Amino acid sequence: MTATTSAPPSRPQVLARTAREKTPMTKKRREALAAYAFLAPDVLGLLIFVAVPMVLAFGVAFFKVDGFGNYQYVGLANYKLMGSDDQLWASLKITGIYVVAFVPIAFVVSFALAMLVRNHFKGIGWVRSAFFLPNVVSLVVVGLIWQFLLVDKRGAISNLLAPLGLGDVSFLGTPSLALGTYVVISVWFLMGYQMLVFLAGLKDVPKELEDAAEIDGASAWQRFRYVIWPLLRPTSFFIVVNSTIGAVTGLQAFDLVYVLTKGGPARATSTVVLYIYEQAFTFNNMGYAAALTTVVVGILVLCTGLMFAFTRGGRFDED
């Protein structure tokens, strides 16, 4: 009996078999690659314009830099200087007062507006747009407008308050009133944005749960307390964290106060961000300004981390 051997496969057959053995790219893999491609420019921008400057600022904090290209290594001297800097502590105190006043007031006002414009009625789009409109205007323009409205004795606000005997009050020129005026303007500017965030959260509250609670005899307050509010906790947490960070290092912490008062009167509105700006660009003390920046960022990271830890990311006592 003669053994038979099969002929070796030809080159076309080998190529065809290799093509069949290749695993085609799945839809999930294609979507993942597309996601990475879309994220790449943003990640690159964050690395170049955020991460790298943060690392450089941390390095500059160990030097005495005069703004003219002269560097002198001083170790921890910039950090030690903070302990005896009375103006720094005064600025931190003012920033703390501003945060404590601004965050809860903005939260309550924006949430009240969201509940007010939650249900549909004629002209609802115009009303929502009117509340949000201040947020689309540059903060520099906002500051100039309010500065014009609050001009002593001749401003529109003074004329409106004249019948109440408050026409001569200088809201931006009186140290005891300037910070409160700054808080009110900040709330006016940001309430529309936070209102939209709350509206997005309210959209996720199932209408069926509210209807069921109403059928069971729950009052309006009970429906809010036991149905709406628990489901809004993550949204509320985002608002608190976002507004806290914005109050310390956001645009309103520098742009608005710089245009309105430049930190006056008598340093009554000198926030820590404004103080860092003055150290860097007024006194050319770049190293000290960099050290202040690293400390402020570190405090914010610590506070934000604690809020996430204690509230489970806004879910509080949920399992």
Q: How confident is the model at residue 1 (pLDDT cuts 50, 70, 90)?
A: very low
Mean pLDDT taken over the chain: 86
Residue 109 CA to residue 114 CA, distance in Å, equals 9
Pick 75 or 165 by higher pLDDT. Answer: 75
The confidence score (pLDDT) of residue 18 equals 57
What is the arithmetic mean of pLDDT over 25-32? 81
Model pLDDT for residues 219-235, shown as the tens digit of each residue: 888 888 888 888 898 89
Asked if the peptide bond before residue 265 counts as cis, ω within 30 degrees of 0, the response is yes
Residue 291 CA to residue 276 CA, distance in Å, equals 9
Q: With 60 as the cut, is the pLDDT of residue 15 above it?
A: no
What is the arithmetic mean of pLDDT over 71-95? 92
Model pLDDT for residues 261-312, shown as the tens digit of each residue: 999 888 999 999 999 999 988 888 899 999 999 999 899 889 888 888 887 7
Pick 96 or 11 by higher pLDDT. Answer: 96
Residue 206 CA to residue 230 CA, distance in Å, equals 12
